[in-house]
Amino acid sequence: MKDIDLRRLRYFVVLAESLHFGRAAVLLHISQPGLSAEIRRLERQLGVTLFSRTPRTALTHEGRTLLPEAEAVLAGADRFASASAVLASGQAGVVTIGSTATVLEQGLLDAIAGLAEELPDLRVVVDELSSAESVTALREGRVDVACGNAPADGPDVTSTRLTAAPFALVVPTRPTAALRPVGSTAAAGSSPQRLADCAELPFAVFRRSASPRLHDTVRALCGEAGFTPALTYRTRTWRSALDAVAAGLCVSLAPLSVARARDGDDPRVRIAQVVDSDLRVESWISTRTGATSQLSERLRQAVVDAFR
């Protein structure tokens, strides 16, 4: 049997509802002879008689049996058309994001929540990764969007900078004896007030394997202040770095937005100094060049707008 023409199925359903060729033809915007001919073609294709014509139009047993099946097929076709139209307009679907914790904390989650209000059928899957891991996942097609602390290089990826924020020196409000120059046996003292006061103090910093850009920037900022940091606590997230600060064990440099959020929620830490330097912590969003769906492009633009 050849594929069933959905148009003829619709003719069948409308005629079954009205049981009058003339009225059905008007509803279908087709001539009555044309409708009759199309129903005959459908019957020949199916090998059954759907309607008895005399003394009046009525469904046969076969017609009554096949009517709910035809209605189900047409309803499915309508759902398919609606879903494809929504997808084509970029209003529904699934988008996967690979992102560092830093970008998540700086506003990415808020941007996703805002877009979810606008597009309730949108499903966003977030995979927390390092900057390097997210770019690799993007190139391999495992994520649609990558957010990290550095742009992705190469013609196959397009990157847009979201933010460039200063660093803040975060210190404990109650330093322990551990917060003293490395090798010193002195008792606990007061927390430092400036980055330049942190020479030889225990420092929390990102592992270079987790974020080369952040690790190198923190070391460079300390270099501008005249010292090489004593990297005592090496972490993969700002949260764990500032947890060590809150415990009174060390100091750390963190993006100002992250430092402010922790300073507002945790009385064990405070911002001692916003570092005046051209060296900033950057956030970037990247997509595959020429391979971005309408939905992932809408998400990318929503994130860019939210950060701006």
Q: Are 60 and 52 in contact (CB under 8 A)?
A: yes
Q: How many Å apart are CA 82 and CA 89, to the nearest integer?
A: 11
Amino acid 150 reads A
3-state SS class at 251: strand
**Which residues, other chains included, contact 70 with Cβ-Cβ below 8 Å and sequence gap of 6+?**
9, 12, 13
Name the residue with tokens 């391979």.
Answer: 291
Residue 91 has pLDDT above 70, yes or no: no
Are both 292 and 194 inside the same structural domain? no
For residue range 259-277, what is the model confidence (pLDDT) as tens digits? 998 988 899 999 999 999 9
Are both 72 and 44 inside the same structural domain? yes
3-state SS class at 15: helix
Are both 289 and 247 inside the same structural domain? no
Are both 270 and 288 inside the same structural domain? no
Residue 291 has pLDDT above 80, yes or no: no
The range of the structural domain enclosing residue 259 comes to 167-279
- pTM, whole model, 2 decimals? 0.61
Are both 149 and 184 inside the same structural domain? no
Question: What are 286's strand-pairing partners?
Answer: 146, 159
Write out the two tokens for 42: 């459908």
Residue 1 belongs to some domain of the structure: no
For residue range 173-200, what is the model confidence (pLDDT) as tens digits? 988 888 877 555 445 567 889 999 998 8
Strands (E), 40-155: 51-52, 58-59, 93-99, 122-128, 145-148
Among 67, 88, 109, residue at a domain's last position: 88
**Which residues, other chains included, contact 154 with Cβ-Cβ below 8 Å and sequence gap of 6+?**
none
Are both 97 and 199 inside the same structural domain? no
Element of type H or E holding 273: strand 269-274
Are both 124 and 106 inside the same structural domain? yes
Number of CB atoms found within 10 A of residue 72's CB: 10
For residue range 148-173, what is the model confidence (pLDDT) as tens digits? 888 887 888 889 999 888 999 999 99
Q: How many Å apart are CA 225 and CA 247, to the nearest integer?
A: 25
Q: How many Å apart are CA 55 and CA 38, to the nearest integer?
A: 21
Domain count, the chain: 3
Above pLDDT 70, what percent of the chain? 92
Are both 185 and 243 inside the same structural domain? yes
Residue 298 has pLDDT above 80, yes or no: yes
For residue range 1-29, what is the model confidence (pLDDT) as tens digits? 568 889 999 999 999 999 999 999 999 99
CATH number for the domain that contains residue 84? 1.10.10.10
Q: How many Å apart are CA 203 and CA 245, to the nearest integer?
A: 9
The predicted pLDDT at position 81 comes to 76
